[in-house]
């Protein structure tokens, strides 16, 4: 019965555009890495991570009777689609992935319910250690940049999770294959990466997206052309480089950058009125930072390009 449920959810996931699926036991021990990271204050101003720590470490607090954690990958573009100056992180160039994947996860929930399961589904939006479970489910390993790295797909993917009361067949973790490579650490503009984790207090993604306070001068000096997020560690990772002859991943058109955003200059972005901002970024993950934060991110670049 459980093998049939797994086959059914695998088939449905493939039909919905997910690139891979893995299953891990919900009670897999997560170790002390996350607790140490939080204790050292590396989460910066993301206090919700502290509040949700018990649930992250114990999925039973999220779904009573949970037995398995299903992790799925969904590809996004590896290309920078901006024609004008100013970089936007690859994952944020198109529609908001939370909304895009929510409907697909609802379909998978329905599939598992047919086999008697009760589920809770998340896409980077709930108290689930998705990267930990992705590695535990054999989808890849956690690289020195703290991201899931896959041998045939690198790190350019979204992770979605399904907690289920079904005890599905589990997958086997794979070994870490970073070896002696430190290119991600060396490429980080602010030296935020060390020991396989990212210190958000130094991370440009944190400061251009999550931070509520003003960006410190030492971080601003390393910002370069980054408007929203930072892909420096991913761009440096050899596993993200296209192998000769390897098939290119299929990218959902909803995740591609619309032409107006691609062509809009830093100066024009800095001068957006609230209603223009809403029109341009409705349905985009960039909308969440609002006009003042976007303007603060883009003004140094706009001034440099005058």
Residue pLDDT, tens place only, 70-116: 999 999 999 888 999 999 999 999 999 999 999 999 999 999 999 99
Three-class HEC string of the chain: CHHHHHHHHHHHHHHCCCCEEEEEECCCCCCCHHHHHHHCCCCCCCCHHHHCHHHHHCHHHCCCCCCEEEEEEEECCCCCCCCCCCEECHHHCCCCHHHHHHHHHHHHHHHHHHCCCCEEEECCCCCCCHHHHHHHCCCCEECCCCCEEECCCECCEEEEEEEECCCCCCCCCCCCCCCCCCHHHHHCCCCCEECCEECCCCCHHHHHHHCCCCCCHHHHCCCCCEEECCCHHHHHCHHHCCCCCCCCCCCCHHHCCCHHHHHCCHHHHHCCCHHHHHHHHCCCHHHHHHHHHHHHHHHHHHHHCC
Indicate if the pLDDT at residue 1 is higher than 70. no
| Average pLDDT of the chain, as a whole number | 95
Looking at residue 244, what is its pLDDT?
67
pLDDT digits (tens, 9 = 90+) for 103-149: 999 999 999 999 999 999 999 889 999 999 999 999 999 999 999 99
The average pLDDT across 224-228 equals 96
Residue pLDDT, tens place only, 171-193? 999 999 999 999 999 999 999 99
Asked if the model's pLDDT at residue 306 lies above 70, the reply is no
Share of the chain above pLDDT 90, in %: 90
Q: Note the pLDDT of residue 200.
A: 97
Give the pLDDT confidence score for residue 2 in this predicted structure: 73
19: pLDDT confidence band, cut at 50, 70 and 90?
very high
Render pLDDT for 38-78 as a digit per residue (tens, 0 to 9).
999 999 999 999 999 999 999 999 999 999 999 999 999 99
Q: Which of 80, 107, 109, 124 does the annotation list as catalytic?
A: 124
Q: What is the pLDDT of residue 210?
A: 96
Q: Is 124 a catalytic residue?
A: yes
Q: Is the pTM higher than 0.85?
A: yes
pLDDT of 160 over the 80 cut: yes
């Amino acid at each position: 019965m459980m093998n049939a449920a797994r086959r059914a959810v695998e088939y449905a996931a493939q039909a919905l555009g997910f690139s891979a699926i893995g299953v891990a036991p919900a009670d897999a021990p997560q170790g002390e890495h996350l607790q140490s990271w939080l204790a050292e204050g590396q989460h910066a101003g993301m206090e919700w991570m502290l509040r949700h720590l018990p649930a992250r470490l114990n999925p039973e607090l999220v779904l009573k009777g949970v037995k398995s954690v299903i992790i799925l990958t969904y590809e996004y573009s590896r290309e920078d689609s901006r024609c004008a100056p100013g970089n936007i992180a690859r994952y944020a160039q198109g529609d908001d992935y939370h909304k895009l994947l929510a409907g697909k996860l609802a379909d998978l929930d329905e599939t598992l319910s047919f086999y008697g399961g009760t589920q809770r589904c998340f896409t980077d939006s709930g108290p689930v250690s998705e990267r930990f479970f992705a590695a535990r489910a054999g989808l890849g390993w956690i690289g020195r940049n703290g991201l899931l790295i896959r041998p045939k797909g690198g790190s350019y993917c979204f992770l979605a999770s399904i907690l289920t009361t079904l005890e599905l067949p589990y997958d086997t973790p794979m070994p870490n294959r970073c070896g002696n490579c430190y290119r991600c650490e060396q490429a980080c503009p602010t030296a935020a990466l060390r020991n396989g984790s990212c210190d958000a207090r130094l991370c440009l993604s944190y400061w251009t997206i999550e931070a509520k306070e003003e960006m410190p001068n030492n971080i601003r000096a390393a910002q370069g052309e980054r408007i929203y997020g930072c892909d420096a560690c991913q761009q440096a990772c050899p596993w993200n480089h296209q192998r000769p002859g390897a098939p290119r991943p299929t990218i959902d058109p909803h995740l591609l950058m619309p032409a107006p955003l691609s062509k809009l200059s830093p100066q024009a972005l800095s001068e957006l009125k609230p209603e223009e901002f809403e029109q341009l970024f409705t349905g985009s993950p960039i909308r969440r930072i609002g006009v003042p934060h976007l303007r603060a991110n883009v003004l140094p670049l706009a001034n440099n390009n005058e």
